[in-house]
Amino acid sequence: MKKSNQFISGSDDNLIIIWSMNQSNQWVCQQKLNEHTKGIYCLVLNNNEDLIISGSCDKTIKFWMNKNGWLCQQTITDHTGTIYGLSLNQQQNKVISCGYDKQILIIEQSQQDSQWIVIQKIKVETNGSRLCFINDNVFTFQPDSSEQMHVYEINDTNKQYLKTKDVLVKYSKDGYSLFPQQHIKSKWLLVNKNGIYVNLIKTNENQEFNIQQSIQFGCAYLFGHLSDDGQFLMTWDDISKEIQIRKYHEI
């Protein structure tokens, strides 16, 4: 978190934990959120840092509000499989989710009562673990072990998201979900893990996608994250068993 000296974690033990740094600079558990009944595979924090959205193997998405402590305010039960991917849009009023039930959910916050409502369900041919908003009108979705990344854009007439293009990306067989897609708006840079590859893709306002670099790690058991400014890519893989840090360099 940027507004407080805290971070959140989700785990296979079904718990979300809020961690705080104490006066001895030690991280201590401040609160345990235990309403999920199975492991937690994705977490999203909003910009105000008063909303956590979690996706779980129990097939639910939960919305947690911070009001003198974190409480679960709402549960979405429309998925029929494990939820592996979540993304919150720039306006902070839409969430997209994907998992192992061959569907993407579009969830919007009601202006009237602030409840989150599923407004669209997109059926996909292949399960996927990664998706990400590029802007409020465009998002990308990576089917598992596929050479194509799908791009969805909102239709101005019916306000539904439709697949408009496929982007060729480096790929190999995948089976590990814990490396979310990210888009860094300041650099128009999308990071997309696909099997043993991490694809770094340049985007622009015209919804064009060009692969800038593909890094091969030799194994799909690979996890990582881009820094918020897009300057650093941090990864861990099961071959090197190292945390590696790569710095962005403009060619």
**Six-digit token pair at 68?**
């003198």
Ranking 74-83, 103-112, 165-174 by mean pLDDT, the lowest is: 165-174
pLDDT, average across residues 91-100: 96
Q: Considering only CA atoms, which of 112, 201, 187, 128 is closest in space to residue 163? A: 128
Share of the chain above pLDDT 90, in %: 90
**Structural contact between residues 60 and 196, judged by C-beta atoms closer than 8 angstroms:** no
Q: Which tens digits make up the pLDDT trace of 126-166? A: 999 999 999 999 999 999 989 999 999 999 899 999 999 99
Q: Which tens digits make up the pLDDT trace of 166-208? A: 999 998 888 777 899 999 999 999 999 999 999 999 999 888 9
Task: Give pLDDT, residue 196.
Answer: 94
From residue 246, give the alpha-carbon distance in Å to each of 23, 59, 121, 196.
32, 35, 37, 17
pTM above 0.85, yes or no: yes
**Structural contact between residues 104 and 141, judged by C-beta atoms closer than 8 angstroms:** yes
**Six-digit token pair at 26?**
């030690």
- The pair phi, psi for residue 187, each rounded to 5°, is -115, 0
Furthest CA-CA distance within the chain:
57
